[in-house]
Amino acid sequence: MCTVTCDGFLLRVAGFGDFDARVTIFSQDYGKLNLVAKRLNRPGRLRGQLLTFSLCDLQIKKNRNSNLLILEDCERLLSFPAFSKDIRKLACASCITEVLLRAVPERSPSPELFELLSDSLRQISKSRSPEAMVIAAQLHLLRSLGIGPSFAECVSCGKPIKISPTRFNIEAGGFVCPNCQAGKEPDGQPWTAVKLSRGAISFCRMALHKPIRSLGSISISAALRRELLRFMFLYFAHHLQVELNSARMLGQYLNRHGKKRRNI
């Protein structure tokens, strides 16, 4: 057995057997790791420390004869009480961690992703408009993964795109200018067209131009929020081949909340 110590965010804590748990963390030094926390029924420092989204000081043991990683000790360094009090913020935080869980390979260190995760959770927890923050964070996350959308030029002809209502090619990951909006790409294959408003384009360009830590005060209208959340859902579904459960949960909650407000 060898033991390593690192700081990491708890992305997921799931029951495993009667007294054990499977824990997925994201650390700066080792990337995403799947661990097993044993004997949680016994008194010890693990009990009460395994809180999703929290930043912890972790001691991990690796069996030299297998790839099994055991979580030996955990001390919470930072937590976000807002996520347990506000379902909107909980869903927004989950939209970030779910992408890391489903799209990032295990044991691939990425200081950039670790910093992005840290900044995103901090800003979402204190933002008055967590949906705006999570959309900005998702755009940065997609760019870090190398599959980010392009908002600068037409993917068909390469001409610069002006800030005006324009069709976005989900498959190609970019805009299509008015001259190329024939419904097909040059190779004759159909594509999914999503019309983005002037406000949506401006927001996406601004969000990608600034670091996450400087976006805590941004807010968007309900209409722009619905437009951008739908766009991000479609983009993730195509480019990661997954439909984010957390995004669906957030959308359902916002729809119910909006209906209740309109009925008052």
Q: How many domains does the chain fold into? A: 2
Q: Whole-model pTM?
A: 0.88
Burial degree of 3 (CB within 10 A; 0-12, 13-18, 19+): exposed
Question: Within this chain, do residues 69 and 27 fall inside the same structural domain, yes or no?
Answer: yes
Residue where a domain stops, chosen among 45, 78, 111: 78
172 assigned to some structural domain: no
99 assigned to some structural domain: yes
Share of the chain above pLDDT 90, in %: 57
60 assigned to some structural domain: yes
* pLDDT (tens digit per residue) in 7-16: 999 999 987 7
Question: Within this chain, do residues 258 and 224 fall inside the same structural domain, yes or no?
Answer: yes
* pLDDT (tens digit per residue) in 244-260: 888 888 888 888 876 54
- Asked if the model's pLDDT at residue 18 lies above 90, the reply is no
Share of the chain above pLDDT 70, in %: 89
Residue where a domain stops, chosen among 36, 51, 78: 78
CATH number at residue 142: 1.20.1440.120
Looking at residue 264, its pLDDT comes to 31
Question: Within this chain, do residues 50 and 137 fall inside the same structural domain, yes or no?
Answer: no
The residue-averaged pLDDT of 211-239 equals 91
Which amino acid, 263? N
Question: Within this chain, do residues 71 and 119 fall inside the same structural domain, yes or no?
Answer: no
150, two tokens? 């392009």
Question: Within this chain, do residues 31 and 119 fall inside the same structural domain, yes or no?
Answer: no
CA 73 to chain centre: 27
C-alpha distance across the termini of the chain, in Å: 62
Residue length, the chain? Answer: 264
Question: Within this chain, do residues 135 and 18 fall inside the same structural domain, yes or no?
Answer: no
Question: Within this chain, do residues 114 and 12 fall inside the same structural domain, yes or no?
Answer: no
Looking at residue 186, its pLDDT comes to 47
Residue where a domain stops, chosen among 51, 78, 105: 78
DSSP state string for 47-67: TTT--TT-EEEEEEEE-TTSS
- Asked if the model's pLDDT at residue 48 lies above 50, the reply is yes
Question: Within this chain, do residues 62 and 192 fall inside the same structural domain, yes or no?
Answer: no
* pLDDT (tens digit per residue) in 159-211: 888 777 677 889 889 987 777 765 455 455 566 788 889 899 999 999 999 99
Question: Within this chain, do residues 125 and 197 fall inside the same structural domain, yes or no?
Answer: yes
239, two tokens? 């480019």
Looking at residue 231, its pLDDT comes to 94
* pLDDT (tens digit per residue) in 103-156: 999 999 999 999 999 999 999 999 999 999 999 999 999 999 999 998 888 877
* pLDDT (tens digit per residue) in 64-84: 777 889 999 899 999 999 999
178 assigned to some structural domain: no
Domain extent for 49 = 2-78
Question: Within this chain, do residues 96 and 42 fall inside the same structural domain, yes or no?
Answer: no
Question: Within this chain, do residues 117 and 197 fall inside the same structural domain, yes or no?
Answer: yes
